[in-house]
Structure 1
């Protein structure tokens, strides 16, 4: 379990509140539920607390090391230990353009509205949990410590989303709340082991079927699952704007391959990732993960950059540190760069004609 939590942190930050809720659950079990008798020469409370300390040490240590390593890697590679929180490509930076929506603005510093929003999302995945609570009620096991532990595990991850909604650092997509579903499903075997009447097994089965039907409906509703619905439509070739943007990326990549197969082109990976994937000559692109990328932005000619490809600034889905460095380049150009191609007023290719002098404009 401890190593699973450590690995989970490398996938999603939600592993932190989930690990915290598990730690509290173990303390409750050890201190209030466990009936292990203390040795004759040791008090019962002190003995239980020492057992809780041992369990917490095993559970928490690997995930703490994961967090320390993550911060250390950010410091070594990006020279900022909190780059994942406040960097150019952090979650906060990515969603700033979307937060102008009235839905999200209304939830900033409004805990009640944020909780209501999260509750609606959670209910989509809650049928298995409801069946577990029904089983507990039928078996007279509802008012027990394990019910509190289950609810703690269940709400720990959504509570992180609520906090982020209040602070304006998340969009609260439906999939961010899906983790409550595997939590409930993982609890089911334990709960079913306590069932005395076999026919009660039909209750969780009905809950799983109901959740399938609910999700099948919700995924078709853009108002409830906007991002997921877009993915679904694209999967079945009901193309929307995202598809046409992808086509434009293909056209841009084809143009660069045909006309500049041997030229070094500076481009931000975040906004141009599809161009990088579709080009036949990706190695000639100077991208965000190159070691001297930031230096190349400051003085392109010094680092062998012949062309700069930039997206139109201002879009909520566009992040480009090149645009941040040269905010007027797309619209007005620069003395050291010459416009050579305009791709539908959404992307522009500039040729570097002289050194910038190392000064970001």
Structure 2
């Protein structure tokens, strides 16, 4: 009998269909999750192979991040500080081992993987596959059916912008992954009130900041939302007004601190390291290469220049181009949330909406380039919002509601239980069964007759042995509001249909927007990959810049120069360094002796200087800043060796030979 009870206890503890801890196996749901991640990663890697190795469509920003990873291990002065402080470091940190692996067997059999910076595509593919997995987990948490679950995953994972940037090697993939991770954990916290969810969400926000500084408004919004919800939840029963809020405020401050502390730590750590190593705590904002300097050099307009109206049209066009049903989905989900008091629906808007609001504000102020990819948060916003509104509320999120009772007779339930002692004991605190054996609970009871009897009407324990309770109350309720949430068929069908429409409309509309030059300023070059006869690759700089970089690197390699002979500021032209088979010949910005060689090139053994055209972002190049007339007359220190032009004949780089060198 003891053996039987223990066996049943082990079975109920681990769950139906799951083996005991000593022989645990992956469930079918887990296998589907692993298969989804592997399938998406493989598909996105295939996209990366197509972009990097077949058509050569590579965004220079992706090359810059791979270059930063390479500088830390392959430059003349390898050190972690070489990762730079303009771009947030996490993508490059992830790429460091991938870059190193590309130089070892068997990957070194394909040197092109290293030269084109394919490590970036691997990084983004894995993170975007993880983002798709997070969408599926949210759908499972909210009890979405199989059809809705896979439609939601498809609406996210197959979105053309998601597919493109999954293989592009940019920071969008890890950023969306961390935002989705944050969103899922905050949703879990709203419904099951576990501090561990706040901790994990905080870690995700901290990592998001180390990926993109747009995580700051998301962290602020989440912290404020957690404070309000926790304060409201901890108000004393029966009290109202300011006194009630003041009583709950310490709890709200406690929870908000937990969730925001990792992001604050990441912010302070990165700022401190930048100040110690680079002399600027906020290089990404205010340095020579920072966002403000780049925006000014590019001549970005603001509302002061053209008025708010035209810029509002640009914002609306980008949002609708990314998600054409955005302005239809949000009112519908909002109506459902208000009608059902779904507090958790606000979480989705806070996490993703704060990022979009930040971007829209930056466009109005003229402090951003306004790329189409900056609106990608609209896709998870729409998908997750529908999942949260559509999810059947009578199925609790993992860990919410009552706990399982691994041993019904005489055993104490693991975790929290309304029946600490089942036989003859009255539960401490609130209990639905004041007297368990044969007694009917005063008021409502889920089990009018405990031994062998099934509760009349709905019961959270339809079978006492091993049954899972689904609510603290006797009717289906939202964990976030405590209000009954039985769905009408019309409402459920409407939201399911809405998800299908999101999938059906976003695929063609987003793809069309990407190929429209006024919207997809960075993406419309894909036309040259699809229709090279009508749109020659030479017309878009993503293509020819790679060929130019390869030729310049090859020319320097052929000179057989000693280490430290070529002075170059790698801001914007990291691909030349990546293409070279002899990277030690270059003196890059992160080398300790860069400024010594910049100020006295002849005395320091520099033979060549490579500089970009001093227009646009080229004006930020350290060499052009130090020698403003170098492009025109050699600044009295060098003679022109070669001018490198684009296919249209426009000069892009110039190679100068230092007078008296060699």
Aligned length: 349
Q: In the aligned structure 2, how far is the partner of 1:140 from the partner of 1:322?
A: 58
Of 49-58 and 139-148, deviating more is 139-148
Q: In the aligned structure 1, how far is the partner of 2:302 from the partner of 2:214?
A: 23
SS at match of 2:656: strand
Paired position in structure 2 for 1:177: 375
Superposition map of 1:19-98 within 5 A: 19-32=219-232, 34=233, 37-38=236-237, 44-98=244-298
- Residue 37 of structure 1 and its aligned partner are, at CA, apart by 4.3
Higher share of residues assigned helix? 1
Relative distance call for 1:132 and 1:260 in structure 2 (3 A) is same
Q: In the aligned structure 2, how far is the partner of 1:59 from the partner of 1:73?
A: 23
Q: Deviations over 1:310-358 (max 9, x none)?
A: 1221144664110111010111113332322333443222222359xxx
Paired position in structure 2 for 1:259: 559
Task: Report the TM-score when normalising by structure 1.
Answer: 0.85
Paired position in structure 2 for 1:156: 354
Q: In the aligned structure 2, how far is the partner of 1:46 from the partner of 1:140?
A: 26
Q: In the aligned structure 1, how far is the partner of 2:625 from the partner of 2:521?
A: 29
- Residue 186 of structure 1 and its aligned partner are, at CA, apart by 2.9
- Residue 35 of structure 1 and its aligned partner are, at CA, apart by 7.3
Greater Rg, structure 1 or structure 2? 2
**8 Å Cα contact 1:118/1:161 also seen in 2:** no
1:244 aligns with 2:442: no
**8 Å Cα contact 1:257/1:279 also seen in 2:** yes
- Residue 61 of structure 1 and its aligned partner are, at CA, apart by 0.7
Q: Which among 486, 509, 522 is matched to residue 227 of structure 1?
A: 522
Q: Deviations over 1:194-228 (max 9, x none)?
A: 54424232222222322223212211211111112
**8 Å Cα contact 1:107/1:165 also seen in 2:** no
Paired position in structure 1 for 2:574: 273
Q: Deviations over 1:172-202 (max 9, x none)?
A: 1111011122133233332112544242322
Task: Report the TM-score when normalising by structure 2.
Answer: 0.48
Paired position in structure 1 for 2:586: 285
Relative distance call for 1:208 and 1:70 in structure 2 (3 A) is same
Q: In the aligned structure 2, how far is the partner of 1:143 from the partner of 1:278?
A: 57
Q: In the aligned structure 1, how far is the partner of 2:249 from the partner of 2:600?
A: 60
Q: Deviations over 1:223-268 (max 9, x none)?
A: 11111222x2355465124122322222222211112433610011
Relative distance call for 1:13 and 1:88 in structure 2 (3 A) is same
Paired position in structure 1 for 2:404: none
Paired position in structure 1 for 2:5: none
Relative distance call for 1:93 and 1:233 in structure 2 (3 A) is farther
**8 Å Cα contact 2:333/2:386 also seen in 1:** no
**8 Å Cα contact 2:271/2:282 also seen in 1:** yes
Relative distance call for 1:165 and 1:121 in structure 2 (3 A) is same
SS at match of 1:309: strand
**8 Å Cα contact 1:99/1:168 also seen in 2:** no
- Residue 6 of structure 1 and its aligned partner are, at CA, apart by 0.3
1:348 aligns with 2:642: no
Of 117-126 and 16-25, deviating more is 117-126
Paired position in structure 2 for 1:358: none
Relative distance call for 1:45 and 1:248 in structure 2 (3 A) is closer
Relative distance call for 1:16 and 1:111 in structure 2 (3 A) is farther
SS at match of 1:124: helix
